[in-house]
């Protein structure tokens, strides 16, 4: 596989430059290898021409001939198309369908830039760590409406999406996953998982995810696909309530990845009880076996608002601080009064369910005696999962790295500014439906979601409004590609100035 891919890459690189169309400097990423059993493969190529009217079709006809000759393989162009290059739009998108005499076909993605230096191109291809097995170019997941327009706030497109809402529903069933995962390579390719870390920065900053799933395998799988990178770790807690077929589907999906696994114990998670915490803590314990920098917990009904690269940049800008929500309103004593004295003279605080904590915090949670005493005490309180992390992170005398050292006596000192989760309360007015007092993101929220500073949104429900989900997935995917191609800037100044970052405990006592 590899050699043929490299052959095509090299062909792209070396020979475009040596043709008489030397004004095209070529950058050729090998972005996809796709083994299929028929005999054509498609390449989409973007050419930028600054000097003369581009004739991409001719160029590629020439090059295919050249390739055939060089590799002693018979390539044949069965279909070729491109847009016109004009004064204004100097990019040409060329689509080629090849026929090859061999049995195995591959799908390539190539991208051409005018300005890219040759050395860098070359390095991309020679470097064994570089992308090998996925397709990465901006694309539209959603064909029936324009997500880009919706995100720009087009009322017309929003109305159109409401009209079409039920016309373009196609959900992958649990049995699809069970069948498709019989061949994991096929599954990973078909579902277009990103199997490369994408950057050194991301590779060196692995994340640990705990994901609580209790229904909708399809939505879970799309969440996983959006956040999946080979360097991260994913602990999946499949709720005892899950149906057998859903459970099997999840089981087979995760069996296709080395870094995705089930939690060692499964609970029947009931919101507001200790079981929520138990599920997360089991995953945290399981995850501590691996090397990573930050822990993030999610439910199957959340979705990223940032790309992996952006999440890494945000967490790095925290400089070790833990993002643990704390309620600005401080009188919640009724929740724990009945539980008796708080162990080790801790001051309890109430937060909400979302955290992004560093590894030292996770180790403290799982291993420290004070933490274990707090955990036991919490079993007698109401909604313990909202108290546990918040209490640990706001008692700086414990010396937990990254915990909050600022003033907590007056609520004015607690600024809202945690960025783990975007969540809109029903009381503030929903554009769509609500569930348990929280708004379910709707199509009208997309414009806002695209700009929110938070890393994830709670709640996004595919069944409820699939375009919102589909468009967000498309947006995050496109941004991943932009980030990868270094076409996107991401400024973390505001993150590094967040109140909990500025007031974080930097060194363990
Ligand atoms: C094929 O390649 C050889 C040398 O590599 C060259 O001499 C020959 O002209 C090429 N044929 C065509 C049709 O390009
Ligand atoms: C595919 O390869 C096999 C063996 O290599 C051969 O028998 C078969 O005819 C080939 N199929 C096609 C369509 O070329
Ligand atoms: C994603 O990229 C494709 C290709 O450039 C574009 O057509 C589409 O509108 C983009 N989608 C979004 C949500 O930006
Ligand atoms: C994340 O973990 C915290 C602490 O265990 C818990 O309160 C919360 O419910 C978890 N959130 C999710 C979304 O699982
Ligand atoms: C637990 O944390 C407390 C407070 O920081 C510390 O005094 C104690 O040594 C820790 N115990 C263990 C076993 O880590």
Q: State yes or no: is 386 an active-site residue.
A: yes
Return the residue whose CA atom lies nearest to atom 9 of ligand 3. 148
pLDDT digits (tens, 9 = 90+) for 3-17: 444 444 445 444 444
User: Ligand 1 mean position to 64 CA, how many Å?
Assistant: 12
C-alpha dist (Å) from residue 416 to 323, 429, 454 = 11, 19, 12
Q: What is the DSSP string of 46-74?
A: EEE-SSS---HHHHHHHHHHHHHHHHT--
376 lies in a domain? yes
Total domains present in the chain:
2
Quick one: which ligand is closest to 39's CA? Answer: 2
H or E element in which residue 180 lies: helix 174-180
Instruction: Report the mean per-residue pLDDT for the chain.
Output: 77
Q: Is the pLDDT of residue 508 over 70?
A: no
Identify the three-state secondary structure at position 141. Answer: coil
| Beta carbons within 8 Å of 427's beta carbon, 6+ residues apart | 437
3-state per-residue secondary structure call for 411-467: HHHCCCCCCCEEECEHHHCCCCCEECCEECCCHHHHHHHCCCCCCEEECCCCCCCHH
Tell me, what's the pLDDT at 329? 73
Say which residues have a Cβ less than 8 Å from residue 375's Cβ, sequence separation at least 6. Answer: 277, 281, 388
440 lines ligand 3 (CB under 6 A): no
Same domain as 236, residue 344 = yes
Same domain for 149 and 24? no
Task: Please tell me the distance between residue 298's alpha carbon and the centre of ligand 4 in angstroms.
Answer: 7
Q: Which position has the higher pLDDT, 115 or 323? A: 323
Q: How far is the CA of 96 from the centre of ligand 4 (A)?
A: 48
Q: Is 370 in the pocket of ligand 5 (CB under 6 A)?
A: yes
C-beta separation of 350 from 390 below 8 A = yes
The pLDDT of residue 173: 87
Q: How far apart are CA 426 and CA 440, in angstroms?
A: 9
- pTM for the predicted model, two decimal places: 0.72
Choose the residue to mutate in 364, 365, 367, 368 for probing ligand 5, maximizing ligand atoms within 8 Å of C-beta: 368
Any domain includes 53: no
Cα–Cα distances in angstroms (integers) from residue 128 to residues 2, 71, 132, 455, in the given order: 10, 22, 8, 31
Q: Which of 128-132, 249-253, 332-336 has the highest mean pLDDT?
A: 249-253
13 and 157 share a domain?
A: no
Residues 13, 156: one domain?
A: no
Stretch 483-490: mean pLDDT: 84
pLDDT in tens, 45-95: 444 444 344 344 555 556 556 655 655 555 555 555 555 555 555 455 555
Pocket test for ligand 3, best of 89, 144, 145, 147 (most atoms within 8 A of CB): 147
Say if ligand 4 is within 6 A of residue 478 CB. Answer: no
Alpha carbon of 378 to those of 118, 264, 368: distances in Å? Answer: 61, 22, 15
Would you say the CB of residue 462 lies under 6 angstroms from ligand 4? Answer: no
Decide if 6 is inside a domain: yes
Coil, strand or helix at 111: strand
Nearest-angstrom CA–CA distance, 177 and 339: 45
Ligand 4: which residue has its CA nearest to atom 9? Answer: 353
Residue nearest to atom 7 of ligand 4 (CA): 385
Top mean pLDDT of 88-102, 189-203, 322-336 is at 189-203
Most informative mutation of 343, 363, 364, 370 for ligand 5 (most atoms within 8 A of CB): 370
What pLDDT, on the 0 to 100 scale, is given for residue 60?
Answer: 55
Which ligand is located closest to the Cα atom of residue 64?
A: 1
Residues 361 and 248 reside in one and the same domain: yes
Q: Which domain holds residue 489?
A: 145-167+177-502
- Residue 122: inside a domain, yes or no? no
Q: Is residue 172 lining ligand 3, measured as CB closer than 6 Å? A: no
pLDDT value of residue 118: 21
Does one domain contain both 156 and 8?
no
Rounded-to-integer distance, Cα 4 and Cα 2, Å: 5
Same domain, 285 and 428: yes
* 21 and 150 belong to one structural domain: no
Tens-place pLDDT, residues 124-138: 222 333 333 345 778
Residue 397 pLDDT exceeds 60: yes
Quote the CA–CA distance of 46 and 14 in Å, as a whole number. 17
pLDDT, greater one: 329 or 310: 310
Q: Is 302 domain-assigned?
A: yes
For ligand 3, the distance from its centroid to the CA atom of residue 141, given in whole angstroms, is 8
Which atom number of ligand 4 is nearest to the Cα of residue 280? 5
Residue 418 pLDDT class (50, 70, 90 cuts):
confident
Residues 428-454: what's their mean pLDDT?
A: 91
What does the pLDDT look like over 27-54, one tens digit per residue? 333 222 332 222 344 454 444 444 344 3
Atom 11, ligand 3: residue with shortest CA distance: 148
**Listed residue (313, 196, 290, 187) closest to 234, CA to CA:** 290
**478 CA: nearest ligand 3 atom:** 1
| Residue 58 lies inside a defined structural domain of this protein | no
Q: Which of 151-165, 302-316, 381-395 has the highest mean pLDDT?
A: 302-316
Asked if residue 330 has its Cβ within 6 Å of ligand 3, the reply is: no
Give the tokens for residue 426.
């029903």
- How many angstroms is it from 503 CA to the middle of ligand 5? 22
pLDDT at 30: 28
Same structural domain for residues 310 and 434? yes
Same domain for 238 and 363?
yes
236 and 346 together in one domain: yes
Query: Residue 75 has which token pair?
Result: 């390539």
Q: Mean pLDDT highest for which of 42-51, 217-226, 419-428?
A: 217-226
With a 6 Å cutoff on the Cβ, whether 488 touches ligand 3 is no
Of 440 and 427, more confident: 440
Structural domain includes residue 26: yes
Ligand 5 contacts CB of residue 345 (under 6 A):
no
How many other CB atoms are there within 10 angstroms of residue 261's CB atom? Answer: 18
pLDDT-derived band at 228 (thresholds 50, 70, 90) equals very high
**Atom of ligand 5 at shortest range from CA of 508:** 5
365 Cα–ligand 5 center, Å: 11
Q: What is the DSSP string of 336-380?
A: TGGG-SPGGGPPP----S-EEEEHHHHHHHHH-HHHHHHHHHHTT
Distance CA 209, CA 302 (A): 12
Instruction: State the pLDDT at residue 413.
Output: 54
Measured from the Cα of 389, ligand 4's closest atom is 4
Of the bound ligands, which one is closest to the alpha carbon of residue 372? 5
Q: Which of 157, 310, 386, 474 is catalytic?
A: 386
Contact 291, 387 (CB under 8 A): no
Residues 7, 150: one domain? no
What pLDDT is attached to residue 336? Answer: 83
Which atom belonging to ligand 5 lies closest to the Cα atom of 370? 1
Q: Which ligand is nearest to the CA of 40?
A: 2
467-483 pLDDT per residue, tens: 999 999 999 999 998 88
Tokens of 444: 């009208």
Instruction: Judge if the beta carbon of residue 389 lies within 6 A of ligand 4.
Output: yes
Choose from 34-48, 133-147, 184-198 the range with maximum mean pLDDT: 184-198
The answer to whether residue 125 is domain-embedded is no
């Amino acid at each position: 596989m590899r050699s043929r891919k490299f052959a095509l890459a090299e062909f792209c690189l070396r020979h475009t430059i040596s043709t008489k169309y030397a004004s095209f400097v070529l950058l050729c990423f090998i972005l996809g290898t796709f083994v299929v059993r028929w005999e054509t493969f498609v390449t989409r190529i973007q050419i930028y021409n600054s000097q003369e009217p581009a004739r991409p079709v001719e160029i590629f006809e020439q090059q295919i001939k050249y390739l055939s000759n060089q590799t002693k393989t018979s390539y044949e162009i069965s279909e070729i198309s491109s847009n016109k290059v004009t004064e204004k739009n100097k990019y040409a998108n060329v689509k080629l369908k090849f026929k090859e005499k061999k049995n195995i076909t591959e799908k390539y993605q190539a991208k051409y830039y005018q300005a890219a230096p040759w050395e860098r191109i070359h390095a991309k291809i020679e470097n064994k760590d570089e992308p090998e097995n996925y397709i990465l170019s901006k694309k539209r997941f959603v064909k029936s409406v324009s997500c880009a327009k919706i995100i720009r706030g087009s009322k017309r497109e929003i109305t159109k999406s409401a009209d079409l809402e039920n016309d373009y529903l196609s959900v992958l069933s649990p049995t699809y996953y069970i069948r498709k995962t019989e061949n994991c390579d096929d599954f990973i390719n078909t579902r277009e998982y990103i199997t490369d870390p994408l950057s050194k920065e991301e590779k060196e900053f692995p994340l640990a995810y705990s994901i609580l799933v209790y229904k909708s395998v399809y939505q879970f799988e799309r969440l996983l696909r959006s956040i999946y990178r080979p360097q991260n770790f994913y602990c999946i807690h499949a709720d005892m309530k899950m149906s057998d077929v859903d459970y099997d589907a999840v089981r087979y999906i995760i069996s296709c990845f080395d870094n995705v696994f089930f939690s060692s114990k499964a609970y029947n998670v009931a919101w507001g009880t200790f079981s929520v915490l138990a599920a997360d803590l089991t995953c945290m314990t399981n995850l501590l076996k691996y090397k990573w920098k930050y822990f993030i917990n999610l439910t199957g009904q959340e979705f990223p608002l940032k790309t992996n690269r952006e999440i890494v940049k945000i967490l790095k800008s925290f400089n070790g601080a833990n993002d643990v929500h704390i309620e600005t309103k401080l009188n919640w004593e009724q929740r724990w009064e009945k539980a008796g004295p708080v162990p080790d003279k801790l001051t309890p605080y109430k937060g909400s369910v979302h955290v992004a904590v560093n590894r030292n915090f996770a180790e403290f949670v799982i291993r420290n005696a004070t933490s274990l005493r707090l955990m036991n005490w919490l079993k007698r309180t109401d909604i313990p999962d909202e108290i546990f992390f918040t209490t640990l992170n706001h008692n700086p005398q414990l010396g937990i790295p990254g915990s909050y050292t600022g003033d907590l006596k007056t609520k004015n000192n607690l600024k809202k500014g945690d960025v783990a989760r975007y969540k809109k309360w029903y009381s503030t007015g929903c554009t769509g439906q609500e569930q348990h007092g929280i708004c379910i993101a709707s199509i009208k929220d997309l414009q806002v979601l695209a700009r929110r500073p938070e890393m994830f949104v709670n709640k996004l429900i595919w069944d409820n409004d699939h375009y919102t989900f589909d468009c967000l997935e498309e947006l995050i995917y496109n941004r991943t590609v932009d980030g990868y191609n270094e076409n996107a800037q991401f400024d973390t100044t505001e993150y590094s100035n967040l109140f909990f970052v500025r007031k974080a405990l930097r060194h363990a006592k």
